[in-house]
């Protein structure tokens, strides 16, 4: 099964129903729900997503949504080694992108799914949008 590392923006697109990106995010998660791919995120994505959801709803509803999300994807740890790699890397100007990237690298992910391909242009792992990936499955 293909291991796909999902960037935070895709998760927020799904849970916040952000147009015009919601449809492709929903389809990607549907493919994972059918066990055709394994979706992973960093623990940082859960924290960032919670922050985003709390701007739209109360804490209990946000936690309920995140509990359901955990059933579909695997959450990867963010540890001291990953933080060190991101801090010492010159490839990623955005520290958060570096954290995401090194989480994917350290956990053997095959592909990064993101809406912002330019953020991962220095990546040793291929990156695609959700739409691009879904088109490869057709």
**pTM > 0.85: yes or no:** yes
Across the strands, what pairs with 3?
38
For 40-98, the pLDDT digits (tens) are: 999 999 999 999 999 999 999 999 999 999 999 999 999 999 999 999 999 998 999 99
The two tokens of residue 1 are 């099964």
Residue 17 near residue 123 (C-beta atoms within 8 A) = no
The two tokens of residue 8 are 């935070």
For 97-136, the pLDDT digits (tens) are: 999 999 999 999 999 999 999 999 989 999 999 999 999 9
Q: How far apart are CA 101 and CA 124, in angstroms?
A: 9
């Amino acid at each position: 099964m293909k291991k796909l590392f999902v960037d935070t923006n895709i998760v927020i697109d799904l849970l916040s129903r952000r147009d015009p990106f919601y449809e492709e995010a929903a389809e990607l998660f549907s493919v994972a729900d059918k066990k055709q791919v394994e979706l992973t995120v960093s623990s940082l994505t859960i924290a960032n997503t919670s922050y985003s959801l709390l701007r739209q709803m109360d804490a209990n509803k946000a936690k309920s949504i995140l509990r359901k999300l955990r059933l579909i994807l695997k959450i990867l740890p963010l540890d001291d080694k990953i933080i060190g790699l991101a801090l010492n890397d010159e490839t990623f100007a955005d520290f958060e992108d570096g954290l995401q990237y090194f989480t994917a690298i350290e956990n053997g992910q095959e592909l990064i799914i993101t809406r912002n391909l330019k953020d991962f242009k220095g990546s040793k792992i291929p990156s695609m949008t959700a739409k691009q990936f879904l088109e490869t499955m057709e």
